Amino acid sequence: MKKVIIYGACSAIATATAKLYAEENVDLFFIAQNEEKVKSLVEDFSVRYEKSPKYAIHNALNTESLAEVFSDAVKELGGLDIILIAHGILPDQEKAEKDLEYLHKVSMINGNSAVYLSQIAANYFVEKSKGTIAVISSVAGDRGRYSNYIYGASKGYISVFLQGLKNKMAHHGVNVLNIKPGFVDTQVVRLWLLMYHWNLLILY
């Protein structure tokens, strides 16, 4: 039976993916920041699929504890085949330009934490000579746009990192997948569209 960790399990894409895994009777471990939401998600899965995923609470800003959280999750699952890294936030571009503390927070959540966790997982899978690391990045990282270059920079960082990691892991039997969605019906995209249309109203 496959064993899967989903980091950022409460995001729309992660939850939808988890449902597909649950239908295949996969052992799931959810990691999320919001305890209330992840508990609700676990309860829903226990009713819907008659199997309760294990879970842990973690703040992506706390990168120093990522290795411990990962290790504990693997131990509880009794191994690991796939990790899906799906967390992130849509930052306020103007605020990030002026507030460097906020900019640091955005960079840690959207960039560094995903990179750190990917490397932690890679180090684990190398020892097993198998496994899959899937990370949700974004097409926003393909080039810098004046309206969202701070968000895009974090995603570009992830994408370049994963390119190199994929090349290295290919020699160890480990798959690395960089998922770059465009517009998907999620809360993040709906918020972006709302902000975009509001800006148009201000301009015109």
Provide the token pair at 62.
């706390």
Q: In what order do the strands lie in the sheet with 3-7?
A: 54-57, 27-32, 3-7, 82-85, 131-136, 174-179
Q: Convert the pLDDT of each residue in 109-149 to its tens digit.
A: 988 999 999 999 999 999 999 999 999 986 654 465 766 77
Least confident stretch, 65-74, 88-97, 125-134, 187-196: 187-196
| pTM, 2 dp | 0.86
CATH no. of 3-203: 3.40.50.720
The one-letter amino acid at 12: A
Provide the token pair at 164.
């190199």
Whether the predicted pLDDT of 204 surpasses 60 = no
User: 173: alpha, beta or left, given left = phi > 0 and alpha = psi -120 to 50?
Assistant: left
Dist CA 123 CA 38 (whole Å) = 27
Task: Give the start-to-end residue ranges of the domains of the chain.
Answer: 3-203
pLDDT score of 9: 94
Going by pLDDT thresholds of 50, 70 and 90, the confidence category of residue 190 is: low
Q: How many CA atoms lie within 13 A of 168 on its CB side?
A: 13
